[in-house]
Amino acid sequence: MLGRKERGQQELFITGSLRGLIPDDHVLVRVDQVLDLGWLRAEVADLYCADNGRSGIDPEVAMRLMLAGFLLGIVQDRRLMREAQVNLAIRWFVGYALHEALPDHSSLTRIRQRWGADVFRQIFIHVVRQCQAAGLISTETVHIDASLIRANVSMDALVSRHLDAVEAAHDDANGAERDARTSGKFKKLCRTDPDATMATSSKAPLRPAYKQHTAVDDFAGVVVDVEIVTGEEHDTGRFDERLEAIEATLGVTPGRITADRLYGIGRIYAALEDRRIAAVIPPLRAPRRKGAQGFPTERFKFDPHHDVVRCPARRRLTPRNVTKSGQWYRADRHDCARCPLKAQCLPRGAPSRRVHIVTNHAAILRARRKRLAWGKDGHAIYTRHRWRVEGTHGTAKTLHGLARAIRRGLENMRIQALLTAIAMNLKKLAAAMMLLLCSIIEMRAVRPNPAAA
């Protein structure tokens, strides 16, 4: 018999909690079991007036609303509040009954502005330490990488600023003349979001973007550090600062750091050696111009104790002018004139040979020797780096809305990245707790009953 369902209803009566209508495996249910925000009210109390004004939104409610959006991939405030009106899981997660009016979307904007990125970083650190206490972080290996995030701007908002004006202001402050090579050049800027600078990668065209620095623990893929900078800043620009942040968050120094070849420079190796951290980072190849003649720099031996360089013929090259990244060393022209390796070593038309030795050159040489001795373990760890940290970037962009900035400004971008990392870590913590609970249930099920025996 064909059935019929009357959809019209005048009233809806519910006896019990909304929790009974939500599946046990729902992401908000699982995260609620591990989410601890009881300390947040005292953390932000100083940001509110204690005896004046109307009552604001409970800090835990505001944080739960934002987390619900990032956990479900709804990162725009307007869309989140429209979904919360009809989504039972969100209402239950934030503690609002069916008949209660939810906060306006603009309230979340004002709360983020009031709290600032520092409060969200404290929440992030609290969640990381929860994961650490649950055994999800080993600190044996930490993977570090950077990724571009497209800014929330239109290409039509780009304008070109003449570099002469910028460099003139810089030169006036330093009392120097401008380089003629840069005269007449232009730099693209974004009118609607000046913090978003032009950046490109092998996978993305030149466009306004931010750059996210991410550190992921190898054991369970927990994000242990995240920071946002402008898109044009180099990947290695904040390396020392992020190492200190990782140590402060975890309370210990990681045993090993992995990164891609872009991080394989002397400054990075020296920083890791100072902290006694093993580096699984392929050294960056020495720059060599197309069509360059003569022996490569690797054939020259640098003696840092005596500050000299010796060529393949064992002749001395003495230090000359200093550069931003190192120092030039030049051989005596009389030594080069009668050298038997002159035809192979000396560039055409040059009276003597000169080489550029970068800062921390000795650290690079040690890293190259270690790279040759990696073996299977070293290659396996580097392979894990590629899918562990790059997989984290992919998950954040695909499932949690980090492919593009949802608001403008460096501060807002930092908050978005922190919320994304918090949501991802809470999912891992909830999954680990669920796995532990299932293991306990299985152990009790197979344990023999002494009373029955």
| pLDDT confidence of residue 178 | 46
Which residue reads 């600190």 in tokens?
139
Cβ–Cβ < 8 Å for 389, 417: no
Which neighbouring-strand residues pair with 354?
Answer: 330
| Region at 206 (left for phi over 0; alpha for psi -120 to 50; beta for the rest) | beta
| Alpha-carbon gap, residue 209 to 206, rounded angstroms | 9
| Alpha-carbon gap, residue 345 to 276, rounded angstroms | 38
| pLDDT confidence of residue 364 | 87
Smallest CA-to-CA distance from 128 within 428, 399, 402, 436 is with: 428
**Low-confidence residues in the chain, pLDDT < 70:** 1, 3, 5-15, 160-187, 202, 286-292, 437, 439, 441-453
Chain-centroid distance, C-alpha 202: 18
- Within 10 angstroms of residue 150's Cβ, the number of other Cβ atoms is 18
Q: Which residues touch 238 (CB under 8 Å, ≥6 apart)?
A: 213, 227, 229
For 328, what's the count of Cα atoms within 13 Å in the CB-facing half-sphere?
9
| pLDDT confidence of residue 449 | 57
Pure H helices in 176-308? 239-250, 266-274
Which residue reads 């591990």 in tokens?
34
| pLDDT confidence of residue 176 | 47
91 by DSSP, 3-state: which?
Answer: helix
Cβ-count burial 399-435 (b if 16+ within 10 Å, e if not): bbbbeebebbbbbbbbbbbbbbbbbbbbbbbbbbbee
| pLDDT confidence of residue 98 | 86
Q: Which residues touch 366 (CB under 8 Å, ≥6 apart)?
A: 269, 273
Angstrom distances, CA of residue 388 to CA of 73, 83, 113, 147, 223: 21, 32, 33, 14, 10
Amino acid at position 398, single letter: T
| pLDDT confidence of residue 180 | 42
| pLDDT confidence of residue 131 | 95
